[in-house]
Amino acid sequence: MIVTTTSSDPTVNSTQAATVSLVSLPIIVAALGYFVDIYDLLLFGIVRVPSLKDMGLSPDQISTVGGRIMNWQMAGLLLGGIVWGILGDKRGRLSVLFGSIITYSIANIACGFVKHITFMDPVQYYALMRFVAGVGLAGELGAGITLVSEILPKEKRAVGTSFVAGIGVLGAVVAYFTVKLFDWETAFFVGGSLGFGLLLLRFGVVESGMFTNIIEQKQVSRGNFLSFFTNTNRLSRYLKCIGVGIPSWFVTGILASFSNEFGKAWGITEEIQPGLAITCLYIGMAIGDLSNGFISQALASRKKAITLFMAIAFVFSFICLYLGIKSATVFYVLCLGLGFGNGYWAMFVTISAEQFGTNLRATAATTIPNMVRAFLIPMTLGFQALKPSLDVVNAGAVVGLVTFLIGFYAILTIPETHDKDLNYLEE
């Protein structure tokens, strides 16, 4: 059931929204927050090979152990997404932004000491710290996008969230060059320090008016995660939101993260660096995310914009897998195209926020992207299981085809949310 008002004075929210511009402090802080989030989230993918090699692991161990550690990080994201999402609707969007950043900043600093750990197995310690980092990182994007969506007028929502993501995804680029200029240990320390620096900026940000208006309504159930599973229509929207995002993590978590293995299978003599592949991917994503909001506005449709970008990602995935790449440089260039197609992530999270009422919005916008990230676990396991029988390229193609079929079905059947009024409740 949908209740279409959250306040006895609905002009409060419209007044707040009308006074917020795209260059206001909440928008800037949300963009910088996502920047730090992406820096820390992608850092392990960038340093996976050099850090594990530095710890004395063999090439085969780097693949299997690295995949296992990545899965622990994704499991942390899944758990954290649920915890922070519920807290975001029960305690407020800002409480999540503060709590999550403290958690992942401490965990990333702890990762910088992994080579010097003697009280337990360093690899197990590394996996544990990436799990804790994952829990912390899970809260940043959903709470930020929810806050931005609720304080901006509907005419600016798509452009505002695209601005947040366009700036944010550049965190991966900075992470790569930090590793290159210094080393992987220093990169973890820098990530943690950036987080604590961001924490100071957060003190000037105020809570969403839509959320504060429902706090006094004691009869309103807020942050009830199980309610997504007690209503058929709500469950359908929730699952389709997850489906929309899954192809993006095939591109990031399989094609880019394991690009060194794909490079060998393609017969490229020069070793492909996954860190550089991820960096090129995210440069393309920055351009894509910034463009997506304007394209969505021009088409007057979130669905059409995401479908277009998903199709671009699909075409570039096919090119990478089967059109005979013979040069690492060519692959890095193709990663720019892959990243551009992947540049619908912010719009996907925005749709997730717009699909649900104010009392469930943070729970949805925080759990859904982390459910998507957690899908990297079965993707990675499937990829590893299929490699012996199908080879690396075909194993990747099978996993990719399944994810894109899910993605296209979800975006073509999900309700449109362009220009949707967000001032409502779900019961």
Compute the residue count for the chain. Answer: 427
Q: What is the pLDDT of residue 108?
A: 93
CA 223 to chain CA mean position, Å? 21
Average pLDDT over residues 20-49: 80
Q: What tokens appear for 20 in the block?
A: 């917020």
Local confidence band at 189 (pLDDT 50, 70, 90 cut-offs) = very high
Helices (H) and strands (E) in the chain, counts: 19, 2
* pLDDT score of 421: 80
Assign 3 a pLDDT band (cuts: 50, 70, 90): very low
CB 256 within 8 A of CB 278: yes
Average pLDDT over residues 382-398: 93
pTM of this prediction? Answer: 0.81
300: left (phi over 0), alpha (psi -120 to 50) or beta: left
Mean pLDDT of the chain: 85
Q: Which residues contact 368 (CB under 8 A, 6 or more apart)?
A: 81, 142, 238, 241, 242, 245, 349, 352
Query: Which band of pLDDT confidence, cut at 50, 70 and 90, is reported for residue 401?
Result: very high
Confidence of residue 215 (pLDDT cuts 50, 70, 90): low
Convert the pLDDT of each residue in 100-155 to its tens digit: 888 999 999 999 999 888 889 999 999 999 999 999 988 877 777 777 777 788 77
pLDDT of residue 408 exceeding 70, the answer is yes
**Distance (Å, whole) CA 241 – CA 414:** 8
Asked if pLDDT for residue 89 goes beyond 50, the answer is: yes
Find the mean pLDDT for residues 272-289: 89
Single-letter residue type at 423:
N
What are the extents of the domains in the chain?
Answer: 15-209+225-426
pLDDT of residue 358 exceeding 60, the answer is: yes
Q: Does the pLDDT value for residue 10 go beyond 50?
A: no
Residue 84 has pLDDT above 80, yes or no: yes
Read off the pLDDT of each residue in 28-36 and give the average, rounded to a whole number: 84
Most confident of 4-18, 38-52, 194-208, 313-327: 313-327
Query: Which CATH architecture describes the domain 15-209+225-426?
Result: Up-down Bundle (1.20)
pLDDT given at position 376: 87
